[in-house]
Amino acid sequence: MAVRSLRHKAGWVFSVILLLLVASAELSWGQDAEAQKKPRVELSVRSWLFTAGDTRWSHDASGLDPRLGDPTSKLVYNDNDTHIIELGGKVHFGRRGFVRAEGGFSVSFDRGLLVDDDFTAVGGQQIFSRTHSDVTGSGTQYGRLDIGFRAAEFTGSRGYVDVFAGFQYWRTRYEATGVRQELCTSSGIPGLSCTPNLNLSGVTAITNTTHWITPIHIGVETEYRVTRRVSLDLKVSVTPISVLYNEDVHHLRSDLQQDPSFSMWGVGVGATAGAGVKFSLTGNLALTGGYRVMWNRTYEGEWKNHPIGGGSDKVPLNEFQTIRHGVLIGLTGSF
């Protein structure tokens, strides 16, 4: 509740600052030569504040035993709040071309909850086991490289439309600590059971590492100058093919290998979208703010277990999805 309250207050503060910046900006349009110069290099540092993340996946092992549910197991890592620092650089070449590189990394990982559900088909599809674990970990790291060109410019030097394409890598790592049994009933399947009132604390139960590799994404971005000092921007990219590789280590399972215990791969789609405002402090320095969403989801995949002694099973991966969104603030220098 405290984090939600902080996000609510931050939204109000951001809105007030935006209104003050717009109100205080110069409304006249100067056409001096300095204002018409196009920067060749842009460097930026951003703080992705109050980001909320969610990773979820499920698989279907009912083909191995029809008494197992579909899904057989579903894990949801939710309420994963992370503070990310992002660095970026953009170099213009020719009259319209540019190359851009951006990368982000977590500097704190505040909290999170893993909900682990197991299902049986005996007596109809139903949950027979649910556990909760607290989530910590190294959070999120990502990087992207784009090349693009200016497709159009608005009259009066009021803005532009750029198109771009590029590569992206996105990694998320979670650690689930402790195990609390929230629900435990009979599965109806001999040898498949849960432990009522189980409550383990201070032990690492699961380490999960997700890799999203995007061979190509395509996008468009635009900036429009409201006044001489204030601009609004919008940036959207889509990923027609995104490749997933995930490793799941269950540290408390003596029947499974630990490098990893389960592995998953998949092919899916993704998108990144953001909207913001830029306020020019000087001719070369600007304050930026906005909101961004990053998302990837599989449409086909495979889950594989790695038991001690070999004999792995492969079953369909029903779903694997990762999303992160939050407020961005930063500084951009142009040279």
Residue located via tokens 């996000």? 7
Domain contains 262: yes
DSSP result, 17-38: HHHHHHHHS--S----HHHHPP
- How would you label 74-101 residue by residue, b for 16+ Cβ within 10 Å and e otherwise? bbbbeebbbbbebebebebeeeeebebe
Rounded to whole angstroms, how far apart are CA atoms 129 and 183?
5
pLDDT score for 157: 87
CA distances from 23 to 18, 167, 207, 230, 279 (A): 9, 39, 49, 10, 12
Query: What are the φ and ψ backbone dihedral angles of 5, each rounded to 5 degrees?
Result: -65, -40
Whose CA is closest to 71, among 85, 81, 61, 80? 61
CATH of the domain at 217: 2.40.128.90
Residue 13 domain-assigned (yes or no): no
pLDDT, position 219: 98
Residue 20 lies in a domain: no
Token digits of residue 26? 């110069």
String of DSSP letters for 234-264: EEEEEEEEEEEEEEEEETT-TTB-SS-SEEE
Q: Are 40 and 92 in contact (CB under 8 A)?
A: yes
Q: Which amino acid is at 83?
A: H
Contact criterion met (CB below 8 Å) for 60 and 320 = no
Residue type, 197: N
Judge whether 19 lies within some domain. no
Which pLDDT value is given to residue 227?
94
β-pairing, 97-120 with 68-93? Answer: antiparallel
Amino acid at site 314: K
Range of the domain at 294: 39-334
Q: Is residue 15 part of a domain?
A: no
φ, ψ of residue 116 in degrees (nearest 5): -115, 110
- Torsion of Cα atoms, 252 then 256 then 257 then 258, to 10°: -20
Pairing status of strand 159-184 against strand 41-59: unpaired
C-alpha Rg value of the chain to the nearest Å? 24
Q: Has residue 18 been placed in a domain?
A: no
Length of the chain in terms of residues written? 335
Q: Decide: 133 and 179 in contact? Cβ < 8 Å.
A: yes
Token pair of 271 as six digits: 């998108």
pLDDT at 52: 87
Q: Is residue 223 part of a domain?
A: yes
Domain count, the chain: 1
- Does 91 reside within a domain? yes
Which positions of the chain have pLDDT values less than 50? 1-36
Please tell me the predicted confidence (pLDDT) of residue 72: 98
